[in-house]
Structure 1
Amino acid sequence: MTTILVTGGTGTLGRPVTERLRADGHEVRVLSRHTRPYAVDLREGGPALDTALAGVETVVHCASNPRGGDERAADHLIAAARRAGVGHLLHISIVGVDRVPLGYYESKLAVERRIEESGLGWTVLRATQFHDLVASVLRGLARSPVLPLPAGVPDQPIEVAEVADRLAELAVAPPAGRVPDMGGPQVRSFESLAHAYLRATGRRRAVVNVPLLGRAYRAFRAGGHLAPEQAVGKGTFEEYLARRPGR
């Protein structure tokens, strides 16, 4: 069986990827900042990263930080993967990184380009936003008596377990370059998602659509982050909420 290293292996996506690969009989090393024996901060690199990659055939790169550092982390990972002779670097990215002028998206696109130019065998999968992220955003907005939403913005959330399953499939296949995007089952207004969240959590809030300014907002309004032609996800946002009574 293949020896696979999952960066960000304790995170929202990395954890189910790790579980799926181990269930299929693969040896999986979990790399994160605080999980031994492969506790590594990719933004710093260092000898511990070389140790983690020794004998690894495939890397599934799930680690990411919206606060910054992804490009530096990718540089360290790519360099160490070259030294270790890794045959396949699989990266999860976001639908719309080439269409939405948002700082985090631009960083994710820069990481994609580094991987493509790395000289390693590579695969890049882009997915739409996870249900978890949408629920987290709405949870924060619902703390106020009025729930403000960006007016006219649609979304297409997807179940993280489905993305994890796809990554696990790709990890044991040959490098495939840029593969088709993964989108959730429905393109929905953010307002409809907010009302679903309020119903599921028993909250009563006035929902107010607020027009915003800026290029990123216009790109989101135009659906630059959507993949309606790749609506391959099955689980709906309501089904996700029903499984999480704590929310």
Structure 2
Amino acid sequence: MTTILVTGGTGTLGRLVTQRLRADGQEVRVLSRRTRPYAVDLRTGGAGLDAALAGVETVVHCASTPRGGDEQAARNLIAAARRAGVGHLVYISIVGVDRVPLGYYRSKLAVERLVEESGLGWTVLRATQFHDLVVTLLQGLAKPPVLVVPAGVPDQPVEVAEVAERLAGLALGAPAGRVPDMAGPEVRTFDSLARAYLRATGRRRPVVRVPLAGKTYRAFRAGGHLAPELAVGKVTFEEYLERRFGKGPVQSPA
């Protein structure tokens, strides 16, 4: 049995990774800012981090926030992992962090480089956006009477449980470096995802496509965040919506 530490282990992905590893019989420690006995803020580190890593063989690093601090958190985690003699650091990143000049993506790419240069055995998996994230974005966009989406932007959402399964499998294996990306089963226009969301939730809104400006928008329009050749996910956005909102089958647009 391997002792594994999952950072961000109470989050959308980390919680499922933890469940999957425990179901496999592994000893899993959950590290988050508020969950005892391993309540640690990675951005500040401290003695609690060393205690959390004592005897740990593998770390799955899921903790992340677009509000900033990921790079410092990674530095603290890597330094403590070295002190503890951790043999394998697994990191979840995002498809397109090297192609889309979004601030959060740049931070994720910087963390990838820290992991690669850590001196530890490492594995990095990039995934496309989770279905959950797309719905969170659409919930905010649907608040006004008109749902406005960026024109010409595609997306390829993936089921978070499938990513968790893949990440857990990587954690149980040997360090593998950068592994093939993981993407959802369909490349979709964002307006088609918006309409599917409205149908699933029984809401009525006109969907309006609005062109934007800037390098980040152009990169998204060009599909820098997609991996159509690696569409290994099985669960479609409509299947996710049906499970989450329970209003019967949601039909995919023809």
> What amino acid maps onto 1:10 in structure 2?
T
Q: Does 1:119 align with 2:119?
A: yes
Q: Corresponding residue for 1:198? A: 198
Report the TM-score, using the length of structure 2 for normalisation: 0.96
Q: 1:202, 1:53 → 2: CA distance?
A: 47
Q: Corresponding residue for 1:54? A: 54
Q: Corresponding residue for 2:147? A: 147
> What amino acid maps onto 2:87 in structure 1?
G
Where in structure 1 are there 5+ consecutive unaligned residues? none
Deviation at 1:245, TM superposition (A): 2.0
Q: Corresponding residue for 2:91? A: 91
Q: Corresponding residue for 1:235? A: 235
Q: Corresponding residue for 2:137? A: 137
Q: Corresponding residue for 2:75? A: 75
> What amino acid maps onto 1:80 in structure 2?
A
Q: Corresponding residue for 2:252? A: none
Deviations 1:28-52 (A, max 9, x none): 0000000000000000000100000
> What amino acid maps onto 1:150 in structure 2?
P
Deviations 1:83-132 (A, max 9, x none): 00000000000000000000000000000000000000000000000000
Runs of 4+ in 1 over 6 A off after TM superposition: none
Q: 2:150, 2:204 → 1: CA distance?
A: 19
Report the TM-score, using the length of structure 1 for normalisation: 0.99
Deviation at 1:73, TM superposition (A): 0.1
Q: Corresponding residue for 1:31? A: 31
SS in 2 for 1:224: coil
Deviation at 1:244, TM superposition (A): 1.2
Q: Corresponding residue for 2:109? A: 109
SS in 1 for 2:29: strand
Q: Corresponding residue for 1:245? A: 245
CA RMSD of aligned residues (A): 0.9
Q: 1:217, 1:62 → 2: CA distance?
A: 26
Q: 1:39, 1:46 → 2: CA distance?
A: 11
Deviations 1:43-88 (A, max 9, x none): 0000100000000000000000100000000000000000000000
Aligned length in residues: 247
Q: Corresponding residue for 2:156? A: 156
Deviations 1:1-49 (A, max 9, x none): 1000000000000000000000000000000000000000000000100
Q: 1:143, 1:237 → 2: CA distance?
A: 21
> What amino acid maps onto 2:62 in structure 1?
C
Deviation at 1:201, TM superposition (A): 0.3
SS in 2 for 1:243: helix
Q: Corresponding residue for 2:218? A: 218
Deviations 1:191-217 (A, max 9, x none): 110010000000000100010011000
Deviation at 1:246, TM superposition (A): 7.6
Deviation at 1:177, TM superposition (A): 0.1
SS in 1 for 2:12: coil
> What amino acid maps onto 2:228 in structure 1?
P
Q: Does 1:207 align with 2:207?
A: yes
